Structure formats: structure tokens, C-alpha cells
Structure 1
Amino acid sequence: MFQKPKLLIRTELSPMIRYFLVLLIVIQPFVLLSQSTTRLQKDSLLLDTIRFEESVYKIKHNATDSLKHFTHDSVLHPIKDPLNHIENVGFRFIVRELAVDYAPNQHQTDSVRNAVNTLLQYVGNDSIRNMVFYLKDYIEKRKTEEALREVKKQIELEKVLSYQPDLPVIEERESHETWKTEALDELYNYVEHDPVHQWIREISRDSVFLGVRNFMNDSIKFWINNGRQDYKRFWLKKNKRDSIGIWIQNTSDRSVRILVDDDVYQQSVQRTKVRGTRVLLEKKERADQYALAKLGKYKRYSQIWKVGATVGMAFNQGHVSDSWSRGGESSMATTSTLEAFANYKRGKHTWDNSLKVKYGLLKSGENGFRKNEDRIEFNTKYGQKAVKNWYYSAQFNLKTQMVKGYSYPSDGPRVLKSNFFAPAYIIASVGMDYKPNKNFSVLLSPLSAKYTIVKDTANIDQTAYGVDKDKKVKKEVGSYVNLSHKLKFWEDLVLVNKLTLYSNYSEKPKNIDVDWELSLTMPINQYLSSKFSTHLISDDDTGSKVQFKENFSIGVSYRF
């Protein structure tokens, strides 16, 4: 039989192909690894390799310690969504999309892009929200301050207990207790001196700046919520200068306690009726505690009329005996005064009215009582505001006396010089009044009429007052200036200055009539006051000489 021979083919690979196959077999595991890594990065988060500090390897003594330490330090915490604090899922999606669309671009500056990124940074910053809620809780509950006080007390207690020289020392326990005390002390000092905590403490003292003022203008001011409870001493006084002592305490619950001194005669402090809208400033919490009440809307009350008066009486007495070698004579004097006012103000209109009555008697030596002071003056002025501090004004002024007045010549009987409306001076004027404040006024009148009246021409010489012999009234037309100024050094020390100037157009306009009064009122105590006054008159109708009078008195006055 014939057997078909096998065909053997021997193929030899080139060296280049062999090298390529070997290289493919070597790099195949790396290619597979890179593909798996790429697939992992698309679907999940790849944690970085944990690197331990050098101190970690120093404490590794055996496998157990290493395993324990490795297990403790390599715990994998779930990664929180940075927008997890936003409850609205739809808004959370919008924030993410905006963050992608408005991502910062290094090659482009856009104000809208920067603004959107600023708002997104605020929305995504959960630490701001946490800080605000912490601050709100701190202001309302003050847990941090209470915790600081509690830890401070514990530190002091631990320091006291640690010093026990009579007990046996246990090194392990002493070391542990000392470390705990030092750790608490470090914690306390860190929080107490932390600038952020100090800033939170300062801004959390949202408070009311309370001021208390008495009638004498004394005052005391303090913050209600100032972080501590303390007492402040103050004296309440009224217009009669009687006073009571009080203690003011700001409590921890942001309220104020007012304590009155014991044994206070409270009848002198009377409750007066006040016109206008009543505003509740405090409400009673307990029998000894008041809290500030909420202020509601109220209709503002404007006082139209202001009315008041002052009544005073002064007395002076001196006695000189006949055996007094230096000479002199006894004297006695008394002066009574009444000053009243009624002022109206509403809108642009003002109407000021004043009345002054003064009467005094003097007894010197063997002479009887003689009149040394007699005056009635009534003044009324109406004004309508023009511009700023200027008013269109019309004024009426009347001056006269009440009873008969005599002159006492040394070589004859007394002579009647004056009586009621003999003489009397009336000035009516219109012009502009400058009133920058309630204590200063200057009336400028280019047109005014002056009347000098002597009613009883049968017994009184009217020519002594510039009235013709056959007449009872003298009429003059001229210009008029009236200046009034009140200066208060403090509540009751008052200097009043009044100056009147008048010029007659028809007769000697350069000879100006001057009437100048100056008075200084000085309080002594609650009921007594002293007063110094001067009065100067220069009038051609009554003679060329200047008339001057000065008076100093101490007496009782009452104001209502």
C-alpha cells in the first residue's frame, strides 16, 4: 500500500513580530486596569490614599496596635451634599445648573456673572446659616455664657479639691485630675478670650439706653441690658425742690426695678393732672417690678395755650436805737409783685399777653408809710409768621399806676404827683418781630402811635408829663423798638432784659425816649428767692435828667 506522506510546513516568525507579541502580553493587564479605573471614575467617587502622619508609625508596637489604629483612622464617612440644607429639591437643581452656566471664566469679566456667583456662594454656604442660628440661640438663651460660668466654677472647685495635704497621694489619680483641670482651663480661656465670641457677646447686648431726669435737670443714663445687674443711686426732685431717693436696678430679664428709700414722706409728691394724650411707658409685672410697655401709635397733642403766674412778697426791716452813736434811723419796707402770662400759639399765629403789677411801701424814721413802688403794665402782641423767624406783628402796651403818689418837700406839705391813669402811657405799633426762640424777641415798628394821658388835671400838673395845659392827652407818631431777652443760667437763676426805644417824628426825632429794665432773680431755697432790679428812663417830656431806680429784695415767691 502506498501511504500518503504528511506535509510538514515550518514557519518562522520574524523577530519584530515576536517582540510585538511579547509586549502585548506584558501590557495587557495594565490596559485592563486602566479601563476598570476609568469606568469606576464615571460611576463613583475614588478616595485618595490615606497617608498617616509620622507620629502614627512611631506608636506601632505590634500588629494589634497597628490594626486598631488603622481601623480608627480609616473610617469612611459618607460625603454630604453641600446643598443638603436646601429643602426644595427643585431649587437645589436650579442652583447646580446656575453654578455650571455661570462658572468663573479667567478670560472674561462679567458683572452679572460675578453677582450670580456671589449669590450662589451665599446659598451654598451652610456655615453662614449655622452661625446665624447659633447667634440667635445665643441671644435668646445665653447658653454659652451659662456654660462658661459653670465650667469656671468647676475649675475653681477642682483646684480646691486637689489641694488636700493630709490625704495620701495617688500618682495616677492626681495626674488624671490635674490633666482634666488644665484641659478645662484651656477650654475656658480659649472661648472666653476668642475675639469672635467677644464680638458676639457685644452685639448680643441689644438694649435700650434709658435716661432718668429730675426737675433740676440732673440725669442718669445706662443701658438696660449691659450684661450685669447693678444698682444706681438717683434723687427725684420736683419744682419745690423736695426730693426722694431711689435705687435703679437693671435685672437679668432686661427690665428695670425702682426701689424707693424707706421712711419717705410721700404726701409732698403729688400727682398732677396733665393734659394731652396719655402714653403708657411701663406695665406692672409684679408688686416690685415693672417692664417697659410697647408704644402704640398715638395722636400728637399740641398745647395751644400756656398760662402761668408768679406771686411774690419781699420784706425788709432795720432798727436803730436812739443811743446808737453812729446815727441813723429805723426803717421798714415791703414789696408785693404779681407777674402773669397767657400765650397762644397755633400754626403760623401767635398771641402773647403779659401783666405785671408791683406795689411797695416804705417807712423810715418818724415818717409814716410812703409809696416807693407802684406799677401796672399790660402788654399784648399778635404775630403771624412771615418767613423763618420773622413775624408780622401788632402790639399794644399800657403803663400806669394804681394809687396816689406824692412828693415830700422838706419845707412844706406833700404834693400829689400821680394817680390811677394820671399819667398813663399807651403805645400801639405795627411792624416786624424777630423771634429766633422763645427767650428772645425784637419788634421793629416804623409806624407807631404813643398816647400820654393825665385823667385828673385838676389835682395833677399835666405839663410835668409833656401834656399841654388845656389838654389831657398828648398824641405822638414815630418809630418804636422793643427788645426782650431772657437768659437762664440754670432752672431758676434768670436774667431778664427789656429795652424800649421811641422816636417822635414831629418833635425832636433825634431825642429818643429810653425805657430800660434789668432784673436778676436768684433762688435761695425752695420758698425763698432774691431779686436785683434796675430801671432807667430818659424822656424829654418829663425833663432832661435821666431817671434811675435800683432795688434789691429777698422774699417769698410762688409760681403756678
Structure 2
Amino acid sequence: MIRSLYVLLILIIQPALLFAQKKVSKDSLIPVAPKWNQSVYILQHSSADSIRYLRQDTVLEIMSDPLHHLENVGFRFLVRELDQENSSFDHQKDSLKDAVNTLLEYVKNDSIRNMVFYLKDYIENRKTEEALNEVKKQIKLEEILSYQPDLPHLEEQDNDTWKPEALKELYAYVENDPVHQWIRNISRDSVLLGVKNYMNDSINFWINNGKQDFKRFWLKKNRRDSIGIWVQNTSNRSVRILVDDDVYQQSVQKSKMRGTRLKLEKKISDDQYKLAKLSKYKRYAQIWNTGVTLGLSFNQGHVSDSWSGGGESSIATLTTVNAFANYKKGKYSWDSVLDIKYGLLKSGDNGFRKNEDRIEFNTKYGQKAVKNWYYSALFNVKTQMVKGYNYPSDGARKLKSRFFAPAYIIATVGMDYKPNKKFSVLLSPIAAKYTIVGDTAMVDQTAYGVDADKKVKKEVGSYVKISHKLDFWEDMKLENKFSLYSNYSEKPQNIDVDWELILIMPINQYLTTTFSTHMISDDDTGSKLQFKENLSVGIRYRF
């Protein structure tokens, strides 16, 4: 009798439960969730933790099918079969079992797919960041209300009120979660750009859709002057450059460089952008490098007739011109330099006299042989511009030199070792040297080793030339020019030496202090060592 009543109850209750169920997932267990009074499932842990509750809305949770995301029922069945059979294939190789297990884990893992869709939605809408900002505002509002009890405050007894401690924990968890931080970083479609100045100082910064920020940078020339700029990463993935106030931009050397324009972003809609596809970069090398440096220095000293220590007044000037044109393309190079110097000196009652006069043209062609070695050919010519005199004590001046009287021409063929732009060693086993005195009627050619009945002296020997430039403290420069020549046919042990040393010390963009020494040893002009030194302060400008 009792058994019959149980069967009757089941027949009556089962249709009612099926009618009350609105949605049932396949392959799932749906237990009954009885409703209890609130006092039964709300438990207060302690007085200090009065806002935390333990809710038990259901006795059992719904057990969903781990493969419910697979819409194809046949494939879902196949995955179950493979999962069971793969665990029993002990005779299979470990590599194959591991491979099948890896693929099955990917198919069964629904969290990977959910995370990919979440990442896509995050990049497009950034709802998580907006939600974090909204929760952060509420937390700050609660903190303000807690410090100002006179303001109207939400009652904590209200069950619909957000609990500040719960909001803080939720915000801290999401904000500090390493996965969320990784998603935030990769969602910024970014480009890392670098900027370098003349002194090779550099700064790197990101162009992205993230936080706007500024970075400080200094644009420097080859002088002491510089311009401070601020580089800003804007919100629309662009760069804004701001220059400091009170800057005379005309003093900045301008240069034009050929290159390819780079388009960083492509507009999709009015408020959406994406990085543009980069085309193949075509690089343009600078083949020619040219420039001219002009220098003018002035020195003056005055001594009155009543000066007890004695002495005499003097005025000295020096003008210099240095022009260069360098060509480099592939394994070929061609360097040309023109140096012009002219100086005058007036001392006491004497008139202006020449104390510096030189024209030197040097051109060198090279073709790369191996590593830092070049097959090289050099042509060098040196002379002076105006007449030069000797001033003996009797007051009768005597003409010593004039234009192309004398002139020295050297032509060489050899190898040039050039590891960098600032160091070069030319070795020439075959070098021809010509000493020319164009005006033998006015100038004594024998003073320069030319026979009395000739205007040209020809020599064949070996030649070595060393060129070196050294930079100190970014601005101070040292130029060293050293050459040796030996005549094969006449006294080869007597080597001609020509050594010039120039120290350049800039004061500011235009004023420069220059100290130079020049030493010459040549048997053709006498056995004595020739030496000249000059210290000058003047204007120096480079084009």
C-alpha cells in the first residue's frame, strides 16, 4: 500500500517539475534547489567581518558537459572516444600520445576560446577599463563619505547597497591580475620609435593608444649650443614635438636628407585607427658629403712710448678656408680637401708683413681591396699665394717666394688603411715628387734644390702619410697630419718630414681658439729644422 502511494506521488510531482523547468542543457544533471529562509543561509562570521556572508542558494551545482561548446554532436562523440582510447594505447609511442593529448586538451578547453573572445572584445571596446574606472570612482566616493560623516551616507543595512570592502577587493583583484595586465599591454597597438641627436644621444618611446606622456630630449649640434624639446605621445597614436621657449631656431643647422615617408596609421572610421601596412623601405645613401669652414682671427697689442718696460705695438690677422668634398658609393671612395691660410703681421713702425701663406690641395681616390684596406692613388700640390720676402737688418728686403715659386707636387700609388673616418695610413712604394719654381728670374731656385739651369726637379721614392682626428669632450678636436718621403736615387736615408698639428677649442658656436704647430725637415731647403707655431682666437663658421 505504501509503495503504491510513492509511485502515485512520483507520477504527480514529475510533470510539475518538468513544467517548471524553463531551460535544460543536454547531458546535464539538474538537481532540485529548495528555497530556504534567509536566516538559514546567511551566517555572520564575526563582528569585525559583519558584511561577509555565506550564501548557499542550491544544494548541488549544475554539472555541465565539458564538451558543451562543441556544436557538432558527432564530433563531440568522437572526442570522447579518442580520449578513452588514447589512455589505453600503451603500445603507442610517447610522442604520439603526447601529441594526441595536446590536441584533445585544446579541443576540450573552453577557457582558451572564451579568453580569445574576451581579448577581442577588450581591444575593440575596452569595457573592462571603463568598468575599472567606474568602480574606482565609487571607491573614492565611499572614502570621502567615510571621512565626512555629516554628508548623507548610504545605509549599510540595505541589501542592495554596494559594500566598499567588496568593491575594493574586486578592483584590486582585476587590476593586479597578471593576465589582465598582459592583456592591457598587448592590446595597445604600439610602435617603438627612437630619436638620436648629433652626439648620438638617444631616446626611445612608444606610440600607442595608451596614456599620454612627455619625454625630455636635447637636440645638439657639433658645437656647445643645443635646443631642449619635449616629445609627447598623444592619444591618437601620433607624436607632438614642443620646443623650449626663447630659442632662436635660426642658429640650428638645417640639413635635408632623402628617405622614405613612413605612414604609421590608417583610418578605419571617424574614431578608429589601425597601424598601416609598411611597404618595402628604399634606402637612399648619402653619396657626397661637402662643406666649407671659414676662420678669421685677430690679435692686437698696444705699448705707449712712455712705457718704462719698453716694447712695441703689434697687430696680427689670420684668415683660413677649409673646403672638403668626399664621395663614397659601394667600394669606391674619393676624398678631396682644399686648405688656404693667409696671415699678416704689423709690429712697431714696420708695415704689414706676411707671416702665413699656404695653398694646399689634396685628393685621394680609393677602391676597397679587403676589409679596411683600399687600393689608393693620391695627388697633392702645395704653394703660396703672394710674394714673400726676407727682411735683413740693413732694411733691403729680398724676394724669397711667390705663386708657384716654389710649388710641390706629389703623385703616389699604393695601399690605404682606413679603419674609420677619422684615421688613415697611406703606404706608397712608388711616389713621384716634383719641385717647381716657375719664376727663376726673380726667385732663386737653388734654395729649393732645383738646379740653376732648370725650373723643375723630379724625384722618385716612397711616401707615407698619416691622417688622424681625435675628439675630446665632444667639442675639442685634434687634427694630426704627418707625411714622410724618401728619394730612392739621392740620399734615401735623408727622409723629408712634414708634420702639422692643429688643436681646435670652441668657445661657443662662432668663437674658437686654435693652436697649431708646423714642422718641416727637407734637405733641399737646408739642413736646419723649420718650425712654426700659432695661437689664435677668432671667428670660425662652418657651412
Name the TM tier (shorter chain): 0.7 to 0.9
C-alpha deviation, 1:452, in angstroms: 1.3
Could you tell me how far apart the structure 1 residues matched to 2:458 and 2:445 are? 14
Q: Which of 301, 312, 320 is 1:329 aligned to?
A: 312
The CA RMSD measured in Å over matched residues stands at 3.9
- Tell me if structure 2 keeps the 8 A contact 1:256–1:291: no
- Tell me if structure 1 keeps the 8 A contact 2:29–2:63: no
Q: Which of 170, 191, 203 is 1:187 aligned to?
A: 170
Could you tell me how far apart the structure 2 residues matched to 1:363 and 1:169 are? 95
C-alpha deviation, 1:535, in angstroms: 0.9
- Tell me if structure 2 keeps the 8 A contact 1:148–1:188: yes
1:73 and 2:58 equivalent? yes
Q: Specify the alignment match of 1:466 in structure 2.
A: 449
Pairs within 5 Å for 1:422-441: 422-441=405-424
Could you tell me how far apart the structure 2 residues matched to 1:385 and 1:469 are? 44
Q: Specify the alignment match of 1:21 in structure 2.
A: none
1:414 and 2:397 equivalent? yes
Distance 1:303 1:189, change over 3 A: closer
Distance 1:97 1:509, change over 3 A: farther
Q: What is the DSSP-based 3-state SS (H/G/I as helix, E as strand, rest coil) of the residue aligned with 1:148?
A: helix
Could you tell me how far apart the structure 1 residues matched to 2:531 and 2:88 are? 91
Q: Specify the alignment match of 1:442 in structure 2.
A: 425
Q: Specify the alignment match of 1:523 in structure 2.
A: 506
Q: Which of 112, 115, 120 is 1:128 aligned to?
A: 112
C-alpha deviation, 1:264, in angstroms: 6.2
| Rg larger in structure | 1
Distance 1:47 1:176, change over 3 A: closer
Letter in 2 for 1:122: Y
Q: Specify the alignment match of 1:41 in structure 2.
A: none
Distance 1:90 1:456, change over 3 A: farther
Identity of aligned residues (%): 72
Q: Specify the alignment match of 1:453 in structure 2.
A: 436
Distance 1:490 1:242, change over 3 A: closer
Letter in 1 for 2:100: V
Pairs within 5 Å for 1:53-92: 72-74=57-59, 77=62, 79-80=64-65, 82=67, 84-86=68-70
Could you tell me how far apart the structure 1 residues matched to 2:107 and 2:247 are? 62
- Tell me if structure 1 keeps the 8 A contact 2:189–2:275: no
Distance 1:555 1:169, change over 3 A: closer
Structure 2 unpaired stretches of 5+: 1-25, 44-53, 268-272
C-alpha deviation, 1:420, in angstroms: 1.3
1:223 and 2:200 equivalent? no
Could you tell me how far apart the structure 1 residues matched to 2:218 and 2:276 are? 24
Letter in 1 for 2:345: L
C-alpha deviation, 1:195, in angstroms: 3.4
Letter in 1 for 2:508: N
Which shifted more, 375-384 or 206-215? 206-215
- Tell me if structure 2 keeps the 8 A contact 1:151–1:188: yes
Distance 1:169 1:406, change over 3 A: closer
Could you tell me how far apart the structure 2 residues matched to 1:421 and 1:119 are? 89
Letter in 2 for 1:257: R
Could you tell me how far apart the structure 1 residues matched to 2:152 and 2:381 are? 104
Distance 1:79 1:330, change over 3 A: same
- Per-residue CA distance 1:241-297 (angstroms, 9 max, x = gap): 77665433223343333345567666666976x363442467899xxxx99976433
Q: Which of 324, 342, 362 is 1:359 aligned to?
A: 342
Q: Specify the alignment match of 2:270 in structure 1.
A: none
- Tell me if structure 2 keeps the 8 A contact 1:442–1:482: yes
Could you tell me how far apart the structure 2 residues matched to 1:239 and 1:291 are? 39
C-alpha deviation, 1:90, in angstroms: 6.8
Distance 1:375 1:74, change over 3 A: same
C-alpha deviation, 1:500, in angstroms: 0.5
C-alpha deviation, 1:308, in angstroms: 1.8
Could you tell me how far apart the structure 1 residues matched to 2:281 and 2:411 are? 43
Letter in 1 for 2:439: D
Could you tell me how far apart the structure 2 residues matched to 1:173 and 1:212 are? 56
C-alpha deviation, 1:540, in angstroms: 1.8
Letter in 1 for 2:132: L
Letter in 2 for 1:79: S
Pairs within 5 Å for 1:30-49: none
Q: Specify the alignment match of 2:130 in structure 1.
A: 146
- Tell me if structure 2 keeps the 8 A contact 1:428–1:449: yes
Q: Specify the alignment match of 1:343 in structure 2.
A: 326
- Per-residue CA distance 1:449-479 (angstroms, 9 max, x = gap): 1111122222222222222222222221111
- Tell me if structure 1 keeps the 8 A contact 2:266–2:276: no
Letter in 2 for 1:384: Q
Q: Specify the alignment match of 1:32 in structure 2.
A: none
Distance 1:77 1:344, change over 3 A: same
Could you tell me how far apart the structure 2 residues matched to 1:293 and 1:360 are? 60
Distance 1:383 1:268, change over 3 A: closer
Could you tell me how far apart the structure 2 residues matched to 1:375 and 1:482 are? 19
- Tell me if structure 2 keeps the 8 A contact 1:379–1:396: yes
- Per-residue CA distance 1:82-105 (angstroms, 9 max, x = gap): 1x4456667656655544554464
- Tell me if structure 1 keeps the 8 A contact 2:27–2:65: no
C-alpha deviation, 1:208, in angstroms: 2.6
Q: What is the DSSP-based 3-state SS (H/G/I as helix, E as strand, rest coil) of the residue aligned with 1:361?
A: strand
Letter in 1 for 2:64: I
- TM-score (normalised: structure 2): 0.80
1:252 and 2:243 equivalent? no
